[in-house]
A and B are shown apart, each in its own frame.
Chain A
Amino acid sequence: MRPTLLGVLALCALIPVVQGRLDASLGEHRDQRSVLYLDSGQHVRRVVPGFEDLAADLYWLRTIQYYGGQRAFANQKTFALLRPLIEITTALDPRFELAYRYGAIFMSEPNPLGAGRPEEGIQILEQGVAALPGSWRLRFEMGSAYYFFLRDPERAAAALQAGARLPEAPFWMESLAARFLLAQDRNSSREIWRRQAEMSEGYMRENAVHHLKLLDSLDTRDAARGLVERYRQERGRLPASLEDLVTAGHARAVPTDASGRPLAYDPTTGSVEIARDSPYWRLRYD
């Protein structure tokens, strides 16, 4: 029996290898061009009487799978089916709060992280708010989305204020609303993401933390720009590299972004940017 068992173990070791090859070989072509035969929530409801919650779960699973698949594999990340899938899920179970929250984020995050359609994200949240009027979390999401993705601080503040009046709403919602109206700056954004990180888990939390680190990286970048400017004023020329800032005593260490990568410095123009290969590099910043 023992040689057979050894043979079995050897075969087991081959499985990850073959699976990897298979995924690589098929993955390119798994373009996620699925079709929804039943394209509205109401149609689906009619087909599964009595099993709406289960169907909602299954559609939610499919939504997640679709979202992950689009991000990981799709050549053209259109996220075309995302909205219909979310719509069906929430039509089947209107009180599925998580679906509204995640759905809005999936829709609002700019391509390629998400569908890049924040107006639709807001629409999803509005449906959610209509179905779950007592949810302060949904109002918070709305506020974040208006402020962060749509750059509309007034609507953002209005949403937060509405949320602040709801039972169990946290103390900071009111003051954050005020802040939005007063100072549309990086610190307001920071506040959003900090609260988001506090109240979420899993993917949402990771997403929020990512945004916070991005903001930190921007702060570092701005500080580095200031140091370069000071150097220039003191020496009359631009530093050859960021190390010069350290040797000259202006900085304690070479400025890096939140991932530990050094910032990109162009000695001819004196510009300091986040490095292109950094996870915090974006085409545009807020």
Chain B
Amino acid sequence: MGGPGLSRIVAVAANTFRETVRERVLYNLLFFALLMTASSLLLGQLSIRQDEKIVKDLGLASVDIFGTVIALFIGVGLIGKEIERRSLHPLLARPLRRHEFLLGKFVGLGVTLLVNTLLMSLGLFATLLLRYRRADPALLKAVLAIYMSLLLVVAVTLFFSTLATSTLVATLFSLGVVVAGRYSEVIRNMRDVTNVPEWVVTGLYWALPNFHNFDIKTEVVHGDPVALAALGYMAAYLVIYAAILLLLAQIAFSRRDLQ
């Protein structure tokens, strides 16, 4: 890849981050802050142990949902919008390689999601500390796992947006795959309980991106231990699966005529 290539990737990534900031994507953080404040105040009515758990659940779920929505809808437009609006053309007329553009977009959105996730975690921790005088650092493991799943969502959207001809189609497919991937656990348990032949279920289980892999919210909130090895395997899964998607996206993107 080399020095100039790396600097081009960084340039694209920086511009992508700048775009999300200027397009006010990060305003969702305000809504999250409101949600955290409201829930922590209103839930004081319930029993002592239960409302702390609910705040944790709500906080983690929000990081997950907001992050996924941003990753999905912005991710799908990363390449698609550039092609449709032709803003890509004057850029590709420079020594910028197509794979550098793709990678730069991925990194740029990844940084945005990182900032978003970190700020939300800070908000959650602040709420917990202020209200309950304690915040379990193990929550960070769940946040890290969620962040990994967000990167995988971005990879999925990049894959579909280089293949599909319209942003709408890419959005629908990405949404479908992400939702189906969350049901991976259910699909796997179908082996025991239904009629479907085992190889179909197993094949589906492996083929779909398994978003359930990154969901350790329940464990963390209940205080169950999560081995670092598990996080390591999650990271390995992310790297492998995202690499597959990005390589395929690159193949599709590098042969596409841009109208």
Contact = CB atoms under 8 A, between A and B. Distances in A.
B251 A5 contact: yes
A248 interface: no
A1 interface: yes
Nearest to B248: A8
A19 B237 contact: yes
B162 to A, nearest CB: 14
B230 A64 contact: no
B3 interface: no
Interface in B160-196: 183, 185-186, 189-195
Contact of A11 (B233, B234, B243): B243
Query: What secondary structure prevails in chain B residues at the interface with A?
Result: helix
B231 to A, nearest CB: 9
Contacts of A5: 251
A2 to B, nearest CB: 10
B108 to A, nearest CB: 23
Nearest to A201: B195
A71 B248 CA distance: 39
A29 B224 contact: yes
A149 B240 CA distance: 49
A62 B84 CA distance: 41
B225 interface: yes
A101 B240 CA distance: 43
B241 interface: yes
A34 to B, nearest CB: 7
Given A26-B230, A29-B224, A33-B218, A18 B237 contact: yes
Contacts of B229: 25
- Size band of the interface chain A makes with B: 20 to 34
Contacts of A199: none
A4 interface: yes
A209 to B, nearest CB: 13
Interface of B: 53, 183, 185-186, 189-195, 205-206, 210, 213, 216, 218-219, 222, 224-227, 229-230, 233-234, 236-237, 240-241, 243-244, 247-248, 250-251
Interface of A: 1, 4-5, 7-8, 11-12, 14-16, 18-19, 21-22, 25-26, 29-31, 33-35, 61-62, 64-65, 67-69, 71-72, 201-203
Closest 5 CB pairs of A and B: A68-B189, A22-B233, A25-B230, A202-B195, A65-B186
20 contacts: A4-B251, A5-B251, A8-B244, A11-B247, A15-B241, A19-B205, A19-B206, A21-B233, A25-B227, A25-B230, A26-B213, A30-B218, A33-B222, A64-B189, A64-B190, A64-B193, A64-B194, A69-B189, A72-B192, A202-B195
